[in-house]
Structure 1
Amino acid sequence: MSSSFDRYQKRKLISSYVSVVISIALVLFLLGCLGLLVINAKKVADYFKEDVTVNVFLRDDAKEVEINQLKKSLAMAEHTKSVTYVSKEAAAESLEGEYGEDFLDFLGTNPLKNSIDISLKADYVTSEKLLEIEQELSAKAFIDDVTYDNDLVELMNSNVKRISFWVLLLSGLFTLIAVLLINSSIRLAVYSKRFIIKTMQMVGATKRFIRKPFVWKSIQLGVIGAIVALIGMAIVLCYLDRYFPELELLKQPILIVSLFASIFGLGILITWISTYIATQRFLNLKTDQLYY
């Protein structure tokens, strides 16, 4: 009979530990995924910003020396990511391939202009900086026109600010939820041993002596839960890098290692603090209060 009861208690204890580990792992995994989103939010925003192109159309009488000098100066400018020269012939071929018909046969002449397409660095894709670049280029006599989609730029920057705000808000909210959920799981695990705690206290054990095994066990569970969460995060990271290689998620090892270390440390820290507070609470209760 005693052996059967011991087995039941052991299974109950293991079940309690497993539930705590799962709770810790799930919460840390969600928090880690949100962390991945936060550290890559700027990279994703920059990727779309740098897709905006500034088109510089040249006059037909522009000299080759002037065009070459402009290309070199643009390539060396701090705001430039890449510069591409597009001749009127290449532009005509591109339009022909896009629309499936040769409009030159109909018009008899090529109305297009030679142009330079400028891809800017993300920090310079703002309405103010683009206006400065436009004014600087338009001052050159051999440049006919400078065009870019200003409405798209304004919409993009507005959405980036809005999304960044909500991501930061969700980060704080998820961190709070993570602390509360892990704390709740730890408190339930300690609650099941409240009578053992009080019995040890009644026979003369010090609070530190009683608290130590509970804190150590919780830290072990926190480590296991954090490792499970990190494995899940690594799988998600590899999946995203495989299907979205343009984001270059694995090319920032310092940030990734820092995030993984933070999640691991957070799992240990939260379980340690939660266990300390929970055991202290039951240590301070009177015997008759343990039944409520």
Structure 2
Amino acid sequence: MSSSFERYQKRRLISSYFSVVISIALVLFLLGILGLLMLNAKKVADLFKEQVTVTIYLKDSAKDVEVKQLEKSLALADYVKSTTYVSKEQAAESMKEENGDDFMEFLGFNPLWNNIDVNLKADYLTSEKLEELAASVSEKSFVEEVKYDKDLVSLMNSRVKKISFWVLLLSAIFTLIAVLLINSSIRLSVYAKRFTIKTMQMVGATKRFIRKPFVWKSIKLGVIGAILAIIALGFIVYYIDQAFPELQLRQSPLLIGGLFLLVFILGIVITWISTHIATQRFLNLKTDQLY
């Protein structure tokens, strides 16, 4: 009979530990996902910003030397990411592929201009910088016109700021929820042993002596949960890197490694603090308050 009861208690204990580990792993995994989002939010925003193109239309009278000199000076500028020369023939061919018909057959000539497409680095994509670039390039006698989408640039910059704010706010909220969830799981685990805690206290054991095995056990569970969360995050990082290679996640091993280390440390710190608080609470209760 006693052995059957002991087996039941052992199964119950293992089940309790298992649920705590899974809870910790899931919560840390969600925190890791949020961390990935925060680390790559700027990268994603920068990718969109760098797709904005400033088109410099060139007069037919422009000399090759002048065009090449302008393109080279732009390519060497520290605020420019890339430059691409597009001839009027290439532009006509692209329009033909997009629209499916040859407009030159109808018109009898090519009305398009040679142009240089310029993409700025994300940090420099501001209305002020674009106006400055447009003004300086327009001074060239062989430049016909400089065009870019002003409204899109203004909208993009304002939206990026709003999204960054909400990502930070959501991260703070989810971090608080994560701490509360792990704390709740640990408290339930300690609650199941409240009578053992009080019995040890009644026979003269110090609070530190009673608390120590509970803290170490929770830290071990936190470590296991953190390792499971890191493994899951590793798969997510690999999948995102395969699906969106432009983010270059695996090209930033220090950032990813730092995130994994943070998840591991959080697993230890949160479980340690939660267990310390939970055991202290039951140590301070009177015997009749345990029921």
TM-score under structure 1 length normalisation:
0.97
- Report deviation, 1:111: 1.2
Q: After the TM superposition, which parts of structure 1 deviate over 4 Å for at least 4 consecutive aligned residues?
A: none
- 1:253 corresponding residue in structure 2: 253
- Report deviation, 1:259: 0.5
Which whole-Å CA distance do the structure 1 matches of 2:52 and 2:145 have between them?
Answer: 17
- 2:7 corresponding residue in structure 1: 7
Q: Which runs of 5+ in 1 are unaligned?
A: none
Task: Give CA-to-partner distance per residue, 1:205-261, whole Å, 9 cap, x none.
Answer: 111111110000000000001111111111111111111112212111111000000
Q: What is the SS of the residue equivalent to 1:118? A: strand
Q: Which runs of 5+ in 2 are unaligned?
A: none
Worse overlay, 253-262 or 99-108: 99-108
Give the aligned length: 291
- Report deviation, 1:163: 1.0
Q: What is the SS of the residue equivalent to 1:241? A: helix
Which whole-Å CA distance do the structure 2 matches of 1:239 and 1:85 have between them?
Answer: 35
Which whole-Å CA distance do the structure 2 matches of 1:102 and 1:184 have between them?
Answer: 69
Q: What is the SS of the residue equivalent to 2:290? A: helix
**Within 5 Å, which residues of 2 pair with 1:128-277?**
128-277=128-277
- Report deviation, 1:100: 2.0
Task: Give CA-to-partner distance per residue, 1:127-180, whole Å, 9 cap, x none.
Answer: 221111111111212111000111111221122111111100000001100111
User: Alignment RMSD, CA only?
Assistant: 1.0
- 2:44 corresponding residue in structure 1: 44
Which whole-Å CA distance do the structure 1 matches of 2:236 and 2:78 have between them?
Answer: 35
Q: What is the SS of the residue equivalent to 1:112? A: coil
TM-score under structure 2 length normalisation:
0.98
Which whole-Å CA distance do the structure 1 matches of 2:186 and 2:256 have between them?
Answer: 28
Worse overlay, 77-86 or 58-67: 58-67
Task: Give CA-to-partner distance per residue, 1:104-126, whole Å, 9 cap, x none.
Answer: 22212211111101111111112
